[in-house]
Amino acid sequence: AMRHLPYFCRGEVVKGFGRGSKQLGIPTANFSEQVVESFPSDISTGIYYGWACVGNGDVHKMVLSIGWNPFYKNIKKSVETHIIHTFKEDFYGEILSIVIIGYIRPEKNFDSLEALIAAIQEDIEEAKRQLDLPEHLKLKEDNFFHLPEGKIVNNH
């Protein structure tokens, strides 16, 4: 799972398939199919942590899920970012920049909605802890987030 990390990626936020993430208090900003197809095809599905920035805004901690996209009968992946920050408004159509740093766990099925939410809360706590480590904080300051026209260089 770690082979492609850190992974830098930028793309437009599109409408998801209404899994009701926002209703659970955990909205996930979805990347377009085109952006998802640019990902390494062998990147593991599961939950990751990293940094994210909307437009030219501040850089925030995030948790990210790479999963199977039910809209495409689970033959295509979906990439969804939950930014650990409270936004005043939705940001559909804006450019989301992320760096994926580490892997937390594989995808799982849960017996209940409560169990799912509890697991996500744990993922968020784990992401917060990991991202406070000096080696990970460093990437928050990466030029990638400050130069919108900057070149995307992965695996460096």
Shortest distance, position 77 Cβ to ligand ADP, whole Å: 15
Q: Are 95 and 10 in contact (CB under 8 A)?
A: yes
Q: Cβ closer to ligand ADP: 58 or 134?
A: 58
Q: Are strands 46-54 and 7-14 parallel, antiparallel or unpaired?
A: unpaired
Interacting residues of 111 by C-beta distance below 8 A, sequence separation 6+: none
Task: Single out the catalytic residue among 12, 33, 80, 126.
Answer: 80
93 binds ligand ADP (CB under 6 A): no
Q: Which is nearer to Mg ion, 80 or 123 (CB)?
A: 80
Here's the x/- map for Mg ion, 46-85, by CB under 5 A: it reads as ----------------------------------x-----
Taking alpha carbons only, the member of 40, 31, 33, 34 closest to residue 64 is 31
Residue 80 annotated as catalytic: yes
Question: Applying CB under 6 A, which part among 20-28, 38-46, 119-127, 129-137 lies near ligand ADP?
Answer: 20-28
What radius of gyration do the chain's Cα atoms show?
Answer: 15
- Pick the stretch among 14-22, 86-94, 118-126, 128-136 that binds Mg ion (CB under 5 A): 14-22
Residue 49 near residue 101, CB atoms below 8 Å: yes
* Residue 62 and residue 113 in contact, taking contact as beta carbons nearer than 8 Å: no
| Number of Cα atoms under 13 Å in the Cβ half of residue 45 | 10
Kindly list the residues in this chain that would bind ligand ADP in the complex (CB under 6 A). Answer: 13, 15-19, 21-22, 27-30, 82-83, 85, 87, 90-92
Enumerate the active-site residues: 80
